[in-house]
């Protein structure tokens, strides 16, 4: 199966359980949660067909299949990780003050900050509730990933206060650790939880967790690259938002860490307008 087909197949299995869970929330909170998944229209912001790529839910089902079980054995894991994912995006958008996600206003923009915090809390609680029936090992795996998410987010927020250059600068290996926690932990947890529910032995569960973490670091770097060079119609984010907000994304950090400042030289050679030029300007402005 090509990757998008895998994602579609997994979404079909998970979506009914996810909608059933969200439907059990307080009606107002449930509406905000449905909006955060892109399922409903609010204030003229259209429903989003896919409601996100669904990478984490797919990893959970594939983890179950890797354990020799049918994908449906991983559904509770898929629901839990997708709920945590959307919760973390929702709170991240509040922390960063980001106005748009998945091509529409963020939840705090559409409903206000207080209600959006509450909607995030509800998704978080629902995730824990969903996994509670799967046993203490499952809850332990999820809790470890949650702590890592907080660790990664804390480092990411602190990176903003660090200088671009000099001995206090953010080094690529620090970025790597941040990305493993912020993004890799949940991808690893998704695959590991799916395998656990599929009856895999502990060594397989641990191996899938590690593999998902590596995948997550690569995923975060691609996310950063798309934040600079991606098509805003596809990424759903404003044009060059990350550059304008001076975010310490991997391409800029890597360019600044290079003594020859390769990106700046390349952009000068190309003499181009657009994101490469903007990135070069940022690198030069930072003294790279």
Which parts of this chain interact with ligand GRG (CB under 6 A)?
Answer: 52-53, 55, 88-89, 91-92, 102, 146, 149-150, 153, 182-183, 219-220, 223
Read off the tokens for 28: 């107002």
Residue number of the CB closest to ligand GRG reads: 52
- Given a contact cutoff of 8 angstroms between Cβ atoms, the answer to whether 213 and 177 are in contact is no
- Min dist CB 63 to ligand GRG, Å, is 16
Please count the other Cβ atoms lying within 10 Å of the Cβ belonging to residue 200: 21
Of the two residues 56 and 261, which places its CB atom closer to ligand GRG in the complex? 56
- Min dist CB 201 to ligand GRG, Å, is 27
Of the two residues 117 and 239, which places its CB atom closer to ligand GRG in the complex? 117
- Min dist CB 202 to ligand GRG, Å, is 24
Of the two residues 223 and 284, which places its CB atom closer to ligand GRG in the complex? 223
Of the two residues 128 and 286, which places its CB atom closer to ligand GRG in the complex? 128
Read off the tokens for 38: 């892109």
State the Cα–Cα distance between residues 172 and 235, nearest whole angstrom: 24
DSSP state for residue 180 in the 8-state scheme: I
Contacts of 263 (CB under 8 A, 6+ apart): 251, 252, 254, 255, 276, 279, 280, 283
Is residue 42 classed as helix, strand or coil in its secondary structure?
Answer: strand
- Min dist CB 124 to ligand GRG, Å, is 6
- Min dist CB 84 to ligand GRG, Å, is 6
- Min dist CB 101 to ligand GRG, Å, is 7
Of the two residues 8 and 153, which places its CB atom closer to ligand GRG in the complex? 153
Instruction: Give me the long-range contacts of 210-213 (CB less than 8 A, separation at least 24).
Output: 212/59, 212/184, 212/187, 212/188, 213/180, 213/184, 213/185, 213/187, 213/188
Of the two residues 10 and 200, which places its CB atom closer to ligand GRG in the complex? 10
């Amino acid at each position: 199966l090509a990757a998008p087909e895998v994602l579609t197949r997994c979404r079909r299995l998970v979506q009914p359980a996810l909608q059933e869970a969200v439907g059990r929330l307080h009606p107002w909170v449930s509406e905000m949660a449905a909006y955060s998944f892109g399922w409903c229209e609010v204030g003229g912001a259209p429903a989003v067909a896919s409601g996100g790529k669904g990478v984490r839910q797919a990893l959970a089902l594939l983890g179950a299949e890797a354990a020799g079980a049918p994908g449906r054995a991983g559904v509770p894991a898929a629901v839990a990780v997708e709920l945590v994912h959307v919760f973390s995006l929702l709170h991240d958008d509040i922390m960063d003050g980001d106005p748009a996600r998945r091509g529409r206003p963020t939840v705090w923009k559409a409903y206000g900050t207080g209600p959006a915090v509450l909607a995030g809390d509800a998704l978080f609680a629902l995730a824990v509730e969903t996994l509670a029936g799967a046993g203490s090992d499952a809850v332990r795996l999820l809790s470890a990933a949650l702590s890592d998410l907080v660790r990664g987010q804390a480092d990411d927020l602190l990176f903003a206060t660090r200088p671009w250059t000099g001995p206090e600068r953010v080094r690529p290996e620090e970025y790597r650790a941040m990305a493993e926690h912020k993004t890799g932990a949940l991808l690893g947890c998704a695959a590991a939880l799916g395998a656990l529910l599929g009856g895999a032995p502990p060594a397989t569960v641990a191996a899938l967790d590690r593999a998902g973490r590596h995948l997550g670091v690569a995923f975060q770097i691609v996310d950063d690259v798309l934040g600079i060079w991606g098509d805003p119609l596809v990424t759903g984010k404003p044009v060059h938002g990350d550059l304008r907000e001076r975010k310490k994304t991997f391409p800029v950090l890597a360019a600044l860490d290079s003594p020859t400042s390769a990106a700046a030289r390349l952009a000068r050679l190309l003499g181009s307008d657009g994101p490469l030029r903007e990135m070069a300007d940022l690198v030069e402005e930072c003294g790279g």
